[in-house]
A and B are shown apart, each in its own frame.
Chain A
Amino acid sequence: MTEQLPTIIILGPLLGATLAAFAAWFRPRLSQPLVVLGLVISSAAALKLVFIVADAGAQEYWLGGWSREQGYGVVGIQITVDYLNTLLLAAVSGIALLTSVYTRRLVDTELAGRQRYFYALFSLLVTGLLGITITGDIFNLYVFMEIAALSSYALIAYGKGRAYMAAFNYLIMGTMGACLYLLGVGFIFAKSGTLNIDDVSASIPALGQSQALFVGFVLILLGAWAKMAFFPFHGWLPNAYVHGPTASTAILAPLATKVAIYAMLRIMVTVYSIKYINSSPGIQSLALYLSSLAIVVASFFSLTQINLKKLASYFVLSEIGYMVGGAWLANKPGLTGAMVHVVADAAMTSALFMAIGCIVYRLGQAQLDDLKGVFFKMPVTMAAFVVTMAALIGVPPTCGFFSKWYLIEGAAKADAWHFVAALLLSSLVKAIILFRIVEIGYNRVPHPAIKGNPAIPRNEAPLSMLIPTVAMTLGLIVLGLGTSTLVNTIISKALPAALAQ
């Protein structure tokens, strides 16, 4: 049974999406439970696989049994769960599960009357994201990338007004990224004659200094950068997240960009190699400078925002800089930091957007000025929000602290001091923003406990939203305390052998 687990991870949400789409015709209320069911199965399989991989190493699976051994090497489709992706699979499916429970009330109010296909699209998006993460084939990665992208355009366009324009911008940028990626894959295929990641990776060293491979690498990289909204390809992201429905943002913000970063890591670490990266120092220092710039620019923009959702989307942009930079440090702590941070940031962003969703659900559009007294209205939500912000700032013992620790250690080792400075600056900016919100939400109102001051009635978000939010927030601390275990048992083994000492 356990040998089928890798495919169950994708089948869960895929079947969920199909059934939810059918159900939408005659019994729309059934869509969400069907999707939740699919995600329960998927995340259980992903969790089980984390333990299997930690014990027994990478698990390969050939769809339909068309395996390399039977001579189907070029057409056979391989999916792999190894040290690099197993944690992300668990994170993506787990976060998707919590979000699918969480979004129901939001969808019912925000998209009232139009919610019919939301959960089918939601589940399709998760299928695409899980597919990108699990596939062992660079062309299939493209296919899953498009599945995820098309459903996310639709999810953004579900909003009203400017959402259409935002979705259109997103579509242009996303399509460009996908095209670049596909072109790069073409170059690799032309040189190596295969699309299977393991086979490509085995044949690249033999091909030596090939111009075509290098061009392919750069194209794939640019494609991935456009997909993940890495500076300077980031323009589409804030508008898409602000004008799209809050429910769509809650699933897109934590997962979509992180999975694109994973794709970049996979290409860098497995398909090409760290040796290849180190032998092209021009791109390496360019990527590092761009990462620092991404962090600094996004931090400054976040300081000027007055809308909570927009502010949070600039956080997403700066975190992308963390991970790209960490990966391009191309040393042991840097890569460890990037890999830890992909998982940690998925969790942090998810918790952040869940808390914001709760606020939006009760207060409408979340302008910072509307937050007066929100700490008294929604104490639990705001407690979760503060913990999440602390994680984003990097306050120990939350997960954000430890990933940032590895990143800074890697940057110090590589003498990339500008990256150290950018990371610290971003922490400080987030701290300023947190306390600005605390001041507005807590201190700027007459304290209701003092006699004569108006009472502020408590108006907490509904339990179906509050429980996933709190669970996710507690997860940040658990993840932080477990960082050392995860690094020792899984992430350190995902690093290429050349760096292992």
Chain B
Amino acid sequence: MESIESFTPVWIILTSSVAALLIALLGRWPNVRESCIFAAAAIKLGLLLSLVPDVLKGKLYEFEVMELIPDVGLAFKVDALGLLFALVSVSLWIPTTIFSMGFLRPLKRHAQTRFFFFFAIAISSAVGVAFSANLLTLFIFYEVLSLSTYPLVTHHQDDDAIKGGRKYLTYLLGTSVALALPAMIIVYERTGNLNFTNGGVLADVTSTTLLVVLLVMFLFGFAKAGLMPFHAWLPGAMVAPAPVSALLHAVAVVKVGVFSIIRVLTGIFGVDLLAKTPSLSTIVCVLAAITLIVASLIALTQDNIKSRLAYSTIGQLSYIILGVGLATKIGIAGAALHIPMHAFGKITLFLCAGAIYQACGAKCISEIHGIGHKFPMTMTAFFIGSLCVIGLPPTGGFISKWYLLNGSLDSAQQWAFAVFLTSSLLNAAYFLPIVYKAFFAKPTDTARLEKAKEPPPMTVVPLFITSAGCLLLFFFSDKLFKLADTFAKMYTVQ
């Protein structure tokens, strides 16, 4: 495998940190402040795209900043999966920023500079996670992400926000410090190596008990992935303003969780070890499958739009974990591909929920009956987003689910096929009624509908962008699939 020593990955991470600094300094001039964000996002996206051709050829960009402990440094490595994830989070940063401007400014919300500042830091750390070359670097950025999103979750600073924020930190910080950190140190103590390597670093560990304990510690330690029973922080985090829920709790933060688990499963345990040790693969698959089904069932019962979306996210994250747990090439590619597909679908849904709240203050499904006639564009976007998450053509979600289903047939865990299908049915069952009621049900609250104002263009334009993304991903999925496939090949073919 050819690797290129390059400072570019560090630049990519730093652009949004620099932007954060500028945001803090230029807080008095909102227009200048937000231009900085767009400039940084554009630079970041450009730099990321410039890496694509070489990465597709199987090359790796590497850079070690400094050594932190013997043989493990603050080091970055850009491979196909990292690039894929970084591309998704950065490209969605742009529509989310537009949406945030539309969402925060007209209502004269407080502390907008703080909001954009921590948002930029969060993007930096998400990309840092994506580019980490070893578990320690990943852990560092993982923690920075937890801490930098806390002020965003508690943005409203009322009692609910404080409670949600408390839950958020207890789960995320608690599990990472109490489970992931010791697991990582045990791996280091036994092997002296934390680099993500093809074939894993634990291949020489013979004790299955130790492997199982480590696996469980990692799976639950990265609680951002929302595996049950460590999922309750995500519905709690829905007290955050809509743009935060959209980009962070549908894309950046939660995907960082599954991304970390993918890295651990492929780079620390190794796909071979997973496939060879049935108990490991089974544990991953069973835990993911339980979460998948149970989360979908709970989603059915939620009346609050955002918490229904949150439980749906919990379920969809487990698709990715289950896909990797299958330990087949197609399964892993499908899992990697599900990151962007679900991201585009779910962010559309969250932005729609935000736009509806902005326009008429409705938070619950029972309040939005008949709203489709008032806001046809918003609800159409919602429809496209739900198709994408359910996994129906012509949206990108169909493609990733296709590969995931294929992967389950290839693997030793064929029952996963049934789980995937059941869950997709459940997804349809909790999303389509919303669309149906919005367009065809009799309004429950006509007074609210009459008062409702059309959402400002700043909040509608991002919906167009992301829902168009859902459709385009279906037709142009080959590029993304190449990235996912390059990654899957690298870690499965010996």
Contact = CB atoms under 8 A, between A and B. Distances in A.
Nearest to A394: B177
A394 B70 CA distance: 18
A428 B177 contact: yes
Measured as residues with beta carbon below 8 angstroms from the partner, the interface class of chain A is 20 to 34
B140 A396 contact: yes
Contact of B66 (A420, A442, A484): A484
Interface stretch (A73-81, A175-183, A443-451): A443-451
B162 A439 contact: yes
Contact of B157 (A397, A420, A447): A447
A402 B177 contact: no
A248 to B, nearest CB: 33
B110 A431 contact: no
A335 B369 CA distance: 66
A497 to B, nearest CB: 18
Interface string B164-194: 0110011001100110011001101100000
Interface residues of B, number: 34
A395 interface: yes
Contacts of A406: 69
Contact of B111 (A396, A449, A451): A449
B140 to A, nearest CB: 4
Among the interface residues A390, A396, A449, which one has the most CB atoms of the partner chain B within 10 A?
A396
Contacts of A199: none
Contacts of B161: 443
A34 B27 CA distance: 45
Nearest to B114: A449
Contacts of A409: 185, 188-189
A450 B110 contact: yes
B157 A443 contact: yes
A275 interface: no
A432 B110 CA distance: 26
A397 B140 CA distance: 7
A412 B162 contact: no
Contacts of B110: 447, 449-450
B174 A395 contact: no
A473 B177 CA distance: 22
Contacts of B178: 424, 428
A302 interface: no
A300 interface: no
Contacts of A447: 110-111, 157
A405 B69 contact: yes
B147 interface: yes
B177 A427 contact: yes
Contacts of B298: none
B181 A435 contact: no
Interface string B74-117: 10000000000000000000000000000000001011000000
Given A413-B189, A439-B162, A484 B139 contact: no
A408 interface: yes
Nearest to A417: B182
B162 A424 contact: no
Contact of A435 (B73, B74, B169, B188): B169
Among the interface residues A432, A435, A450, A483, which one has the most CB atoms of the partner chain B within 10 A?
A435
Closest 8 CB pairs of A and B: A396-B140, A450-B110, A484-B67, A449-B110, A412-B189, A408-B185, A409-B189, A443-B157
Interface of A: 333, 390, 393-397, 402, 405-406, 408-409, 412-413, 420, 424, 427-428, 431-432, 435, 439, 442-444, 447, 449-451, 481, 483-484, 487-488
14 contacts: A396-B139, A396-B143, A402-B68, A408-B181, A412-B182, A428-B173, A428-B177, A431-B173, A431-B177, A432-B170, A443-B157, A447-B110, A484-B68, A487-B70
Given A396-B143, A408-B185, A412-B189, 6 more contacts: A393-B177, A412-B186, A431-B169, A443-B162, A484-B67, A484-B68
